[in-house]
Structure 1
Amino acid sequence: MTARRLPARHDPIRPRGERAIGISVDGEPVPGIEGQTIAGLVLASGRLAWRTTSAEGRPRGLFCGIGVCFDCIVTVNGERDVRACQRRATDGDVVETQHDELPEAAR
């Protein structure tokens, strides 16, 4: 998948200026543009997965893109279970990937 971003000057729907922002994902800097979601920034950086399933450790990232499936959850500034597709990135956000072990009863 190749990331493609439409420049604001070519956006027919409410174009605005492009203010650069930056977040960190697991300690790595990820650049972006104000208004993008966390998932948008991470995908544009080339990363397709940022969570693993509890049962088998399979990679997950953006699936539905509308906040229904919870495949894109991350920890943002210490707040767990944030849907990356729903949260707009803010300059300086600290994002951490999540992996939760299954409870003993489920194993």
Structure 2
Amino acid sequence: MQNFDLDRLFQKDALIPVIIQDAACKDVLMLGFTNKEAVELTLKTGTAWFWSRSRQKLWNKGGTSGNFLHVERVVTDCDTDTLLYLCRPDGPTCHTGARSCFFHEIPMNREENVP
């Protein structure tokens, strides 16, 4: 992200989503929200920082658990309003102890001939 103006990310909102993906196997591990300060800390430290909407404060994933997300790449989407962090996780990403936060599947109830 050399010479990238971070303000471009926050033109629409002060918080934007950031998708966390395993850099090795490409599994989606979590979705969080970030602000400009958290992105700056991520780029500076190499670990993923977020804005906690529930606690209304910055947090470094792994700061308490030790399960840091080491950021290898930062990519923005085509609209420049969502980030993707490709990471090497130190352990489980989910606060429940699961590898990924995405593990509750909702069954599909497909009906034929429905537009």
TM-score, normalised by the number of residues in structure 1: 0.30
Higher relative contact order (CA 8 A, sep 6+): 1
- Scaled by the length of structure 2, the TM-score of the pair is 0.28
Structure number with greater Rg is: 2
